[in-house]
Each structure stands twice: as structure tokens, then as C-alpha cells.
A and B are shown apart, each in its own frame.
Chain A
Amino acid sequence: MGFWRRAAPGSDERGCKGPLPLARVQGQRPWRSARRGLAALALLILLPLHAHAVGNPADMLPDPVQEERARNLGRDIRCMVCQNQSIEDSEVGLARDLRLIVRERITAGDSDADIKQFLHARYGDFVLLKPPFAWNTAVLWATPVVAVLCGLGLILVMRRRAAQAHAAPPPLTEEERRRLAALGLPPDRDGTRA
């Protein structure tokens, strides 16, 4: 990945492709190399959008459908060395070995589940970026559900309390109306205070 050390092909006003003589870039027009640097920076920023898989293109399967399957599968497999990357994203040697194993097994006709099982038998739950549901991962999986349920419960309780606070008082009884009338105060039609 040393492409930014080279001028972009065809960018030379002479129509030359390939690297420019260093003296030209450095000596004559410094603003040019600065602009080139900016262009390289822009390319670098764009790079992650395209660099889905690292590594040697020779490692890819000739069949694009199988290669796509291998990539999708590889994105679910954790690189045990980098630990927060999938084997498709990691440049570590072990990740490459695992990428190759995934591709070998796909060529051999294994299903995705077979391949995951193969890796799981060797590296345990941790190798799967989406861990299986089991007794020891129950807390992990249940946490979001429990959090949502707690939130819903809280909302329910608060709404009920708010409704109680705003609830209309019960209508005046016959006794209360008589007492109001005796005091000379007009009772409202539905009994609420105006």
C-alpha cells in the first residue's frame, strides 16, 4: 500500500504515467506536490470504503459467488489477535490463515454452519463475533431485552402517576351540592371547579 508515494498515473501534464522524477516534484513547483499530498489524503480518507478485504488478491476464490460467501462468513469471524476486527479486516498472519481455511472449506463444499462449527471447535465462542445463545452468554443476550423492558415499565409507571395527578376529582355528591347551595355558591354543571 505505498500508492501515495507515487504520483497518480496520468496526472502529469506530459501525459506520462508512472512516477515523476523526484527533482521535479520537490524542486520546481512545491504547490504541486502539496496539492498532490491533499489528493492523496482525500484518497486515504476514501480508502476504507473500498478496502473491505485486505490481503493478497491471489488468495481470493476464482468464483465470485463463493468469494462473496467467504467474505460474508469472514466478517462474522473474530481475528483472535486484534480481537475487535474480523478476519476479513485484519492483516495479521493468523487472520490470513483463517481466511484461507474458510475458502478451502467453501471449495470443499462445506456449509457456512460447518465452517463456523470448525472454527468454534478450535477457538470457542470468542471466535464468533456474534456469540451463540447459551447459558453462559444468556446475560449478554438478555441485557438489551431487560433494558427495554425496564424502560417500558418505567414509562408505564410514570404515565400512570401523571394520569393520577391530572385526573378529574370525583363529581360532587348530593350532600356537597346541598352544602354549596347553603353557602350561596354556584355548583358547576359537572361539579368541577371552574
Chain B
Amino acid sequence: MTPFARRALLFTPFALAAMGGAGFYGMLQGMKTGEYNPRGVPSALIGRPPPDFTLPALEDAGVPAFGSAELRNLSGPVLVNFWASWCVPCIIEHPQLMRLQRDGVPVLGIAYKDRPADSLRFLRQHGNPFRMLAKDEPGRVAIDWGVYGVPETYLLDRQGLIRWRFAGPITQEVLDQDIRPLLRRWA
């Protein structure tokens, strides 16, 4: 073995450890800024239409229900938001949904495993950001979408294909850094 090879071999473990450390540091930084979520799971439905479904309306909410039929030919991108009155992060994201509604973005809601009376109380208290609203009390349609918690938000393009899925509350940062650019991109 040449002296150079010997020296290279000596430094290999250090180089590997340094690379691992750099990767780990990057992950920690990403977790701090919210760019990297170790529990995040990519949706299996990206680039595909949503599953076929029909759901009942939430009575007295004043907005119609919707199903997969309403998600086929759209005039622009829409957001589909799974939420529940018992879900605390849903309260965090609510102002952002209200802002999207004021900006004219169609936000469609699906109340997940919630009592209708509780859903209504939540909307009366915090405002109704949803243009259409359905209820999924058994939670089976949500499973067809691949939902694994609330809140969860899907962005559909004008052809009705799922382009983006976000599991967690829509914060101001998510709104500015993800949703607004995506709405422009798929407009």
C-alpha cells in the first residue's frame, strides 16, 4: 500500500463521520425552520385524481356539500381541507383559511369524525372559510384520500388532479411559502 493510500484510508472514517454530522445538522436546522418534518409522509395520490366519493352536507352550515363529481372540471386550483372541531391545530390554521377565502381562493372542507353540532359551533365561533362543506363522520372517505390526521390540506389543479398535500396546520409561513406559489403555479 502506498503512503498516500494509507493516509487516505486513515481519514476515511473521519470523512464519513463529518458527512453524517453535516447531514444531521441539516436535518436539525430544517426541523427548526419547519422545512423538514421527520414524521411527514408523501401522499400516494400526488398527480392523481381524488378517490370517488359522495358525502352529505353539514346541515345549517349554509354551504352545499360536494363529492368527487364537483372536483373534476374546475375553473382554477382549489384546496380541500380535512378538519374537526376537536382538533386543536385546526384552530391555529383557521385564520389562514379565512384569509384564503377573502382572497377568493376556493377552500372546500370535509369535517372528519366530528359531531355536526360541534362542527357548526366551531364555524359559528371562528367563521366559515369553506365554499363547500361535507361531513365524513365515519372517516372512511378520509382513508380513501390517505388522510392520517387532521388538519390535512390537498391542492387540486384545474384538471382536478392532486398536486400537493400538507399534513399539519397551515401557518402563515406555509401560506406564504407553499400555498401562494402553488396557487400561482397551477392557476
Q: Which A residues from 107 to 140 make CB contacts under 8 A with B?
A: 120-124, 126
Task: Identify the stretch in A35-43, A49-57, A69-77, A93-101 within 8 Å (CB) of chain B at 4 or more residues.
Answer: A93-101
Contacts of A123 in B (CB 8 A): 41, 44, 146, 148
Tell whether, in the assembled complex, residue A83 and residue B149 are in contact, meaning their CB atoms are under 8 Å apart.
Answer: no
Size category of the binding interface on chain A: 10 to 19
Which of B39, B44, B148, B149 sits near A121, CB closer than 8 Å? Answer: B44
Size category of the binding interface on chain B: 10 to 19
Tell whether, in the assembled complex, residue B149 and residue A124 are in contact, meaning their CB atoms are under 8 Å apart.
Answer: no
Contacts of B146 in A (CB 8 A): 122-124
Tell whether, in the assembled complex, residue B140 and residue A97 are in contact, meaning their CB atoms are under 8 Å apart.
Answer: yes
Which of A93, A97, A98, A126 sits near B41, CB closer than 8 Å? Answer: A126
Docked Cα-Cα span, A139 to B116, in Å, equals 47
What's the minimum C-beta distance from B129 to chain A, rounded to whole angstroms? 25
A155 contacts chain B at the CB level, 8 A cutoff = no
Majority secondary structure, A binding face: helix
Docked Cα-Cα span, A97 to B39, in Å, equals 21
Known: A97-B140, A123-B146. A80 touches B41 (CB 8 A): yes
B127 contacts chain A at the CB level, 8 A cutoff = no
B43 contacts chain A at the CB level, 8 A cutoff = yes
Interface string of B24-58 (1 = CB under 8 A from A): 00000000000000010111110000010000000
Which of A80, A101, A120 sits near B148, CB closer than 8 Å? Answer: A80
Docked Cα-Cα span, A93 to B147, in Å, equals 12
Known: A80-B148, A83-B39. A98 touches B143 (CB 8 A): yes
A: residues with CB less than 8 A from B are 80-81, 83, 93-94, 97-98, 101, 120-124, 126
Given A122-B144, A122-B146, 6 extra CB contacts under 8 A: A81-B148, A94-B149, A97-B140, A97-B143, A120-B44, A123-B146
